[in-house]
Structure 1
């Protein structure tokens, strides 16, 4: 009986889901609300930012090594590979999302992606979680830009910030 209780307890921890709400003020003084939902069973995280026209939703599928961002202002979705050297894993995402922001914290690392002009024809190839996020809206693929970004002809960038731990710029003619 004790073994059954122990196994049940371990499974509950392994399949736990974290739901975290964070209220921040952005650099223009407006209220920004982010939610983080972590599903340890499926190894995915959903991060949403509610900020009027600048709102976005993202899905991080760590099993597939992909993330997707649905940009409200662009009425489009962007899918790319997770850079595991920079992006937080689920454990770190959960830990950082529950901590208070430190006033003197260094700026988060940032990554820049170039978005392709061609739409993705089959969103289902990215799995059920990203398909649910991007279904029925224009979806584009993006690749991370390495090296000297300042000298690249990147324009039309949309920036997102995952909590206070990662900044992402998606650049190109998204939704055009």
Structure 2
């Protein structure tokens, strides 16, 4: 029985379809690598002799950085959403989330976060990294889903409060005594969330 096989320049339709599938798979692989997350790990020896460890995962496609700080009961998790210009931190010891407007001029860019993985831990005697201080308000967020899936998932099931950036100069050494939580990236950028959270 003869089969009717069309040929184009020596290739059958079956060969051409297979070639298109291979090209599509290669393009998909390249695109996946271009949009892949960057992962930054940072270890630091604390002033009290304890160790803290942070992990930063960057989603270049959605313009989001997910940060986890593993420091026992003082640990926290955060989402920096550059597309919405918001950052959110879940403080485990407070059992609460804090949402604030991101100052994009002051926050390190996603590109800088990616490059930070090649940077060494800050050498003793060098100036501390830049920082911002935020005051936690008494205003609770009623619907965290309004901020998108990443922030909504982080803060689901816990009280969530707004915070506002403080203006002026502050001395970072006083922050802990003022009840502030350090929620920045070790050696790169400091964020201090200050104030009492009602109900916690």
TM-score (norm 2): 0.77
- The offset of 1:10, in angstroms, is 5.5
CA distance, structure 2, for counterparts of residue 135 and residue 145 of structure 1: 27
Give the corresponding residue for 2:16.
Answer: none
Bigger fraction of residues in strand: 1
Is 1:118 aligned to residue 139 of structure 2?
yes
The farther-off stretch of 71-80 and 15-24 is 15-24
Bigger fraction of residues in helix: 2
The farther-off stretch of 108-117 and 21-30 is 21-30
Structure 1 residue ranges without an equivalent (≥5): none
Q: Specify which structure has the bigger relative contact order, considering alpha-carbon pairs within 8 angstroms and separated by 6 or more residues.
A: 1
**Equivalent position SS for 1:96:** helix
The farther-off stretch of 164-173 and 19-28 is 19-28
**RMSD over aligned Cα, in angstroms?**
2.3
**Equivalent position SS for 2:152:** helix
CA contact (8 A) 1:115 1:141 kept: yes
- The offset of 1:118, in angstroms, is 2.1
**Equivalent position SS for 2:187:** coil
Counting matched residue pairs gives 173
* CA separation of 1:58 and 1:67: change in aligned 2, threshold 3 A: same
Structure 2 residue ranges without an equivalent (≥5): 1-19, 172-176
CA contact (8 A) 1:57 1:70 kept: yes
**Equivalent position SS for 1:80:** strand
**Equivalent position SS for 2:184:** strand
- The offset of 1:24, in angstroms, is 1.6
TM-score (norm 1): 0.87
